[in-house]
Amino acid sequence: AQSVTQLGSHVSVSEGALVLLRCNYSSSVPPYLFWYVQYPNQGLQLLLKYTTGATLVKGINGFEAEFKKSETSFHLTKPSAHMSDAAEYFCAVSYTGTASKLTFGTGTRLQVTL
Amino acid sequence: DAGVIQSPRHEVTEMGQEVTLRCKPISGHDYLFWYRQTMMRGLELLIYFNNNVPIDDSGMPEDRFSAKMPNASFSTLKIQPSEPRDSAVYFCASSRSGVPSGANVLTFGAGSRLTVL
């Protein structure tokens, strides 16, 4: 069975600082990996995804993530945090044959301070 | 496109009452998903449909929950009778078939916040 683990339910960074949100996955077959963001009182929206090919994936709002098979990780980064980045971030995994069934992590709430 | 539309946005009801949540997916999307979000359990997939056919309902908590998709533009999630532990935010999401297969990108609605007293 596939699963994702997000380390740290809350992360706080200063505006302008590096954002690093951690995600590790467990899958017996090559995974498809996603990061979604949820702003207060809204649904989730896609930040970026990895399926095949280049392991460094760029998404919206300056975020990127790198698929590292040897570490079974897909950490999300942004070089410089902005106040508008404050939200909850979810890592998710699926793989071919799951008929599109996404499994989400428990989420990491990002706080950005002045 | 108006996106995925859910109604009601908020519902407060008393234990034992029937609750019906509604979803209009994005036109042209052939997958529809119902998720539940709580602080304790996070995001849980309840059921999903492909071309209006239920594919996997293994996440439906119990027989009190049922979901239908009578056509490509409408789905309902019904709870009868409702209980306080059903209080949560229920999300509907839709997607096209993924490329590659299994890599669907979901578009979520804004959610329906249910409170059962």
Concatenating the DSSP letter of every residue in B56-87 gives: E-TT--STTEEEEEEETTEEEEEESS--GGG-
At A74 the pLDDT is: 96
Range list of β-strands (E), chain B: 5-7, 10-13, 19-24, 31-38, 42-50, 53-56, 65-71, 74-79, 88-95, 107-108, 112-116
Q: Residue range A30-35: average pLDDT?
A: 91
Phi then psi dihedrals of residue A85, to 5 deg: -80, -10
- Residue in this structure with the two tokens 């044959």, named with its chain if needed: A97
User: Does B42 contact A41 at a Cβ distance shorter than 8 Å?
Assistant: no
Cβ proximity of B81 and B16 under 8 Å: yes
CB A35 within 8 A of CB A89: yes
* Amino acid A98: pLDDT: 61
**B42, B56, B105 member nearest A106 (Cβ):** B42
Q: Count of CB contacts below 8 A, A vs B?
A: 71
pLDDT of residue A2: 76
pLDDT tens, residue by residue, B29-84? 999 999 999 988 889 999 999 999 999 999 998 899 999 999 999 999 999 999 99
CA distance B92 to B7: 10
Query: How sure is the predictor about A100, in pLDDT bands with cuts at 50, 70 and 90?
Result: low
Q: Does A24 touch chain B (CB under 8 A)?
A: no
Q: Quick: pLDDT tens for B1-16.
A: 689 999 999 999 999 9
pLDDT of A97 strictly over 80:
no
Minimal CA separation from A52 to chain B, in Å: 9
Q: Which residue of A has its CA nearest to B111?
A: A43
Q: Which long-range contacts (CB under 8 A, 24 or more apart) does B29-32 make?
A: B29/B94, B29/B95, B29/B96, B29/B107, B30/B72, B30/B95, B30/B96, B30/B97, B31/A100, B31/B94, B31/B95, B31/B96, B31/B97, B31/B104, B32/B69, B32/B75, B32/B92, B32/B93, B32/B94
- Does residue A23 register a pLDDT over 80? yes
B108 part of contact set with chain A, CB < 8 Å: yes
